[in-house]
């Protein structure tokens, strides 16, 4: 096997994403040694039992010391305190990264704690499931999926290249964009869709006219697809909305504006407006299938995803 890309990689927070990175790094031989930190004793036990890391620590700082690459895989809301603990322990030349679904707030909260002798390169892998925890992860999670790097202007090109190589080694395709653009793109393709899925499931649960058991029984007619998204981790998603507030509110504003127009078209019986929109949206689905981001098969191709 070729030389590992990194001598020592530290994973901070061994949940779905953290444990998948550990598994992928192990499988592809990306690190000579994998260190892991999790605050939760039961998680540390599972990490040891599953053999996900060579060394398991309670304190993030302990795991990060001596590491060449440290990846923070906690919810976005605690990235700041975690960075505060890790920062002083980073060795010269070390790369600090993360996997947060929001980038602006992560940069705001983590960057101040990164010493001048280390490199901070924020990242976001576009892969996940609605499950959490170390048992939910798997090595193939990132295969063929995008990982987005959002390096700051001052970033060291060699550090960015090394992180890119790591993600490519884990199976991902890598893109770079600015922090600001990232947060707008994911507000519309991910955050607002999650918010409206949570919202419609909540609305349906609270109705008096329709019982919860009816909602569950007849969910196959459309509702069901929303419930899967609305089963995503509450902590992660609370942190996403609190930390990408401006972009989410901006995109939500557009969504509501368009919805109001649709509502009006229904009220006034303007079938042509409805038909025009419903035809246009089909094209987008077609492009997604053509570009291999989904399949037309009844299982959505996810059996092997």
Ligand X SMILES: NC(=O)c1ccc[n+]([C@@H]2O[C@H](COP(=O)([O-])OP(=O)(O)OC[C@H]3O[C@@H](n4cnc5c(N)ncnc54)[C@H](OP(=O)(O)O)[C@@H]3O)[C@@H](O)[C@H]2O)c1
Which of the choices a second copy, ligand X, none does residue 49 contact, using the CB cut-off of 5 to 8 A by kind? Answer: none
> What are the Cα distances from residue 188, in Å, to 99, 244, 249?
19, 11, 10
Per-residue tokens: 184: 């707008």
Which one of 8, 61, 101, 148 is in contact with ligand X (CB under 6 A)?
Answer: 101
Q: Residue 83 in contact with residue 105, Cβ under 8 Å? A: no
149 and 174 in contact (C-beta within 8 Å)? yes
User: Least Å distance between CB 158 and ligand X?
Assistant: 25
Among the listed residues 10, 25, 31, 43, the single contact to ligand X using CB under 6 A = 43
Is there a contact between 34 and 25 (Cβ–Cβ < 8 Å)? yes
Contact flag: residue 49 with a second copy (CB under 8 A): no
Does 195 engage in binding with a second copy (CB under 8 A)?
Answer: yes
Residue 74 touches ligand X, criterion: CB under 6 A: yes
| Closer Cβ to a second copy, 14 or 105, answer by number | 105
The SS3 call for residue 225 is helix
Site for a second copy contains 79 (CB under 8 A) = no
CA angle 227, 228, 230 (to 5 degrees): 60
Q: CA torsion sign, 67 to 71 to 74 to 78?
A: positive
Rank residues 3 and 257 by Cβ distance to a second copy and give the closer one.
257
**Residue 15 binding: pick among a second copy, ligand X, none (C-beta 5-8 Å cut-off by kind):** ligand X
Tell me which of 2, 116, 157, 303 binds a second copy, using CB under 8 A.
Answer: 303
- Interface with a second copy, residue 129, by CB under 8 A: yes
Q: How far apart are CA 199 and CA 194, in angstroms?
A: 8
* C-alpha span between 22 and 267 (Å, rounded): 53
**From the list 64, 65, 69, 76, which residue makes contact with ligand X (rule: CB under 6 A)?**
76
End-to-end Cα separation, the chain, in angstroms = 26
> Which C-beta is closer to ligand X: that of 4 or that of 196?
196
Please, are residues 16 and 130 in contact by the beta-carbon 8 Å criterion?
A: no
C-alpha closest to that of 143 among 179, 107, 172, 112? 172
* Interface stretch with a second copy, choices 14-22, 30-38, 68-76, 127-135 (CB under 8 A): 127-135
Q: Mask: binding to ligand X, 112-151, rule CB under 6 A, as x and -? A: ------------xx--x---xx------------------
> Could you give the angle at the alpha carbon of 143 between the alpha carbons of 140 and 149, nearest 5°?
120
Closest CB 97 distance from a second copy, rounded Å: 19
40 interacts with, out of ligand X, a second copy, none, CB within 5 to 8 A per kind: ligand X
Minimum Å distance from CB 135 to a second copy?
A: 13
CB atoms within 10 A of CB 150: 23
Q: Answer whether 200's CB lies under 8 Å from 226's CB.
A: yes
Question: How many C-beta atoms lie closer than 10 Å to residue 98's C-beta?
Answer: 27
- Which range binds a second copy by CB under 8 A, 13-21, 66-74, 158-166, 233-241? 233-241
Q: Both tokens of residue 278?
A: 């419903």
Contact segment (CB under 8 A) with a second copy among 44-52, 80-88, 161-169, 217-225 equals: 217-225
161 near a second copy (CB under 8 A): no
Task: Return residues touching ligand X (CB under 6 A).
Answer: 13-18, 38-40, 43, 73-76, 78, 82, 99-101, 124-125, 128, 132-133, 233, 236
């Amino acid at each position: 096997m070729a030389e590992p890309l990194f001598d020592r990689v530290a994973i901070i927070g061994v949940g779905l994403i953290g444990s998948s990175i550990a598994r992928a790094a192990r499988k592809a031989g990306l690190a000579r040694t994998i260190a892991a930190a999790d605050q939760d004793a039961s998680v540390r036990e599972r990490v040891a039992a599953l053999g996900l890391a060579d060394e398991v620590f309670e304190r993030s700082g302990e795991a990060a010391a001596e590491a060449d690459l440290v990846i923070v895989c906690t919810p976005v809301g605690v990235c700041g305190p975690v960075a505060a603990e890790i920062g002083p322990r980073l060795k010269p030349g070390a790369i600090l990264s993360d996997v947060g679904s929001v980038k602006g707030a992560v940069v705001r909260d983590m960057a101040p704690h990164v010493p001048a002798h280390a490199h901070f390169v924020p990242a976001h892998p576009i892969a996940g499931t609605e499950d959490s925890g170390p048992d939910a992860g798997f090595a193939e999670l990132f295969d063929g999926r995008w990982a987005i790097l959002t390096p700051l202007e001052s970033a060291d090109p060699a550090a960015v290249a090394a992180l890119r190589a790591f993600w490519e080694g884990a199976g991902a395709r890598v893109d770079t964009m600015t922090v600001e653009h990232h947060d707008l793109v994911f507000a519309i393709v991910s955050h607002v869709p999650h918010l409206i899925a949570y919202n419609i499931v909540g609305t349906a649960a609270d109705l008096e006219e329709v019982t919860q058991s009816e909602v569950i029984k007849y969910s196959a007619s459309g509702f069901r697809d929303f419930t899967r998204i609305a089963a995503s981790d509450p902590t992660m998603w609370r942190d996403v909305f609190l930390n990408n507030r401006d972009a989410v509110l901006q995109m939500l504003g557009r969504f509501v504006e368009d919805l109001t127009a649709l509502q009006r078209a229904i009220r006034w019986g303007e079938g042509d407006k409805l038909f025009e929109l419903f035809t246009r949206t089909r094209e987008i689905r077609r492009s997604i299938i053509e570009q291999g981001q989904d399949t037309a098969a009844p299982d959505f191709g996810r059996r092997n995803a």
